[in-house]
Amino acid sequence: MDFFEAQARAKQRTSRLVLLFSLALLGVIAASYASAIVGLSYTTRGQPWWDLQVLAVVTSGTLILVGLASLFKWLQLRDGGRAVAEMVGGRRVDPHTTELKERQLLNVVEEMAIASGIPMPSVYVLPGEEGINAFAAGLTTSDAVVAVTDGTLQKLTRDELQGVIAHEFSHILNGDMRLNLHITALVFGILVIGLVGRGILYSLRYTRVRSGNNKNSGGAVIAVLGAGVALLVIGYAGYFFGRLIQAAVSRQREFLADASAVQFTRNPGGITGALKKIGGYALGSSLQSSKSAQIGHFFFAQGFRSHFGGLWATHPPLPERIRAIDPSFDGQYFNPPEMVDVARESWSQATDDVSAPLAGFALAPKSAPSRNAHAIITSVGTLTPANVANAQTLLDAAPAVLREATRTPATASALICGLLLDAAPEPRAHQQALIAQHGGALLAADVATLDPSLRTLRPEARLPLVLLSLPALHDLPAADLSRLLDTLDELVHADGRVTTFEFALQKVLSHHLALGKAPHAPGDEIYSFQALERELALVLSALARSAADDEAGAAQAFAAGANQLRLLEGRLALLSSAECSFERLDAALDRLAQGSLPIKQRLLTAGAHVITADGAVRVSEVELLRAFASALDCPMPALAA
């Protein structure tokens, strides 16, 4: 299943989820109406069983209460992945940590981010949680986080950790994160009815009904008590069915994520080893924090005991998950040490396999890279062993000082500025003066420190380093970020022209930084190719002119791409260089970002045919196409050299 199919299925699941919760809500309204009628029949003689006015009051009251509660929970989570991780007590991993297992975790996530072409997620650890578990959360790939428990860090080998992280990246790429947040908000909306009922009963715990002439007061207390009981029963009944829906939706996705993890790493033993350790350790994947219960469907494995048998289980049973990957599984889990004194001995000391040296992915020999249009477009939003291996190669080849620079706001800012420096001495000196003038002396000094390493950097490693820098840049105060973006703009226009890489860097940064600060769903989608005809022609024209050195070559490349847009056959024409200015291209991409998934897929397919039309693919062409894909929220990994 490719990226576009996965995203389409995620949208279908969201629509199905809303329908199921709507049916559950109708059941809650019906039960509330019946309770109201029963209550009124005791106080009003001749109360009919069908009362439109009562139905209207009950329906509006229920919808308002559930809607406000769901909105409240959604607003709590609207800041994206970081809000979720911090809500459950997550601690962000220090990018410069010297703790071996945390460094290992960061390296694994970096490899996966580069291999998939998405911005580097922020990485969190759930302290004090000794069970083996993990989750990914966020509204978009720009604000995603990956979180693991202490137990995951300490008890898993690197291969097993890779399997777990690959599983979580599958959820990121398959569009599951936003769906998880929708589920959390909707379930809370229904639960709040029961919480209101419980609150009413709790408020009456010290109330005494006095005898004598105060009959009205006693009747009122009984009425309130009855209302509280009714709300409690109805709310928790609705919550019961809401949790059933939540569990059913979650279980469907886990087998796919497990299979994707195996496909990504080409190492079945990684994820099955993690699952066997969950089955072998006494704590398994259990979580201690009650705050984690409301996001149980986010996790890698079942975090809480499932009541009502397996009805509320958010994950399939461990044996089923393991046998889906390894049919020969004999039911034997990992055999842990008999006793570990965690006050004096760490899990890494207690288990021999965890202290193994940092090994790479267990991959088959890498085949020769393919750069045809089909191979390029099928790489969008997917993790493949070849891309994982290429990510490792890029990271290993990048100077260590540049990798470290991606991890803090100040040095990440310097890295981005340094990537824009011209190779020629004179314009480079002018740009360095601009950095000192607009960014300050400290920024200029950091750029100077990185400059020798930047001169040796391979061109194809530039955009991956930009994506790795995004979590650090998100931490910049608004004023500092604004100053950095102004400095970058000065650097780009210092020589009076804009290169394809300069445009690609600015577009990737502006798009993901904006989404990271205020993650949101796209606006109204555009489903008509004709409505975007001008924008499609502009994007393909700009790409064709970057891929060719003369007019004939540009026309040939443009035609190769236009032939992929059958619905616009004969209507697209190559635009002039003046019409393909980067300012117009920027606006065109913003509008195309509102296009439907089929439009984005066909556009990127056409773009892949443009850059491969002459049989040679240059780094500058790939960078521009990757910038286009990034602006459309379709992550495209770096191509293997």
Of 344, 347, 364, 366, nearest to 355 by C-alpha is: 347
CB 110 within 8 A of CB 102: no
Q: How far apart are CA 256 and CA 378, in angstroms?
A: 18
Separation in Å, CA 277 to CA 131, 143, 204, 302, 354: 10, 30, 48, 13, 12
**295 DSSP 8-state letter:** G
Phi, psi of 313 (to 5 degrees): -65, 125
Cα R_g (the chain), whole angstroms: 28
Q: How far apart are CA 323 and CA 554, in angstroms?
A: 53
As a whole number of angstroms, the distance between CA 56 and CA 53 comes to 5
- Give the span between the Cα atoms of 229 and 233, in whole angstroms: 6
Q: What is the DSSP string of 317-354?
A: -HHHHHHHH-TT--S------S---TTT--HHHH-TGG
Structure tokens at 187: 């379930």
Three-class DSSP category at 526: strand
Question: What are the helix (H) ranges across 567-596?
Answer: 582-592
* Contacts (Cβ under 8 Å, ≥6 apart) of 265: 159, 162, 163, 166, 271, 361, 362, 363, 385, 388
Residue among 178, 174, 333 at smallest CA distance from 263: 174
Mapping DSSP to helix (H, G, I), strand (E, B) and coil, where does residue 91 land?
Answer: strand
Residue 404 near residue 96, CB atoms below 8 Å: yes
Specify the 3-state DSSP secondary structure of 125. strand
Contact present, 196 and 88 (Cβ < 8 Å): no
Q: Give the E-state strand segments of 85-220 in sequence order.
A: 91-92, 122-126, 134-137, 145-149
Mapping DSSP to helix (H, G, I), strand (E, B) and coil, where does residue 122 land?
strand
Is the separation of the CB atoms in 625 and 618 below 8 Å? Answer: no
Rounded distance, CA 325 to CA 482, Å? 49
Closest CA to 431 of 445, 414, 417, 451: 417
Distant-in-sequence, close-in-space partners of 62: CB < 8 Å, separation ≥ 6: 25, 28, 29, 32, 193
- Best CA proximity match to 147, nearest among 299, 278, 364: 299
Tell me if residue 168 is catalytic. yes
CA atoms in the 13 A half-sphere facing the CB of 85? 28
User: Catalytic residue among 110, 129, 168, 460, which?
Assistant: 168
Tell me the C-alpha distance between 276 and 117, whole Å: 30
Report, as residue numbers or ranges, the catalytic residues: 168
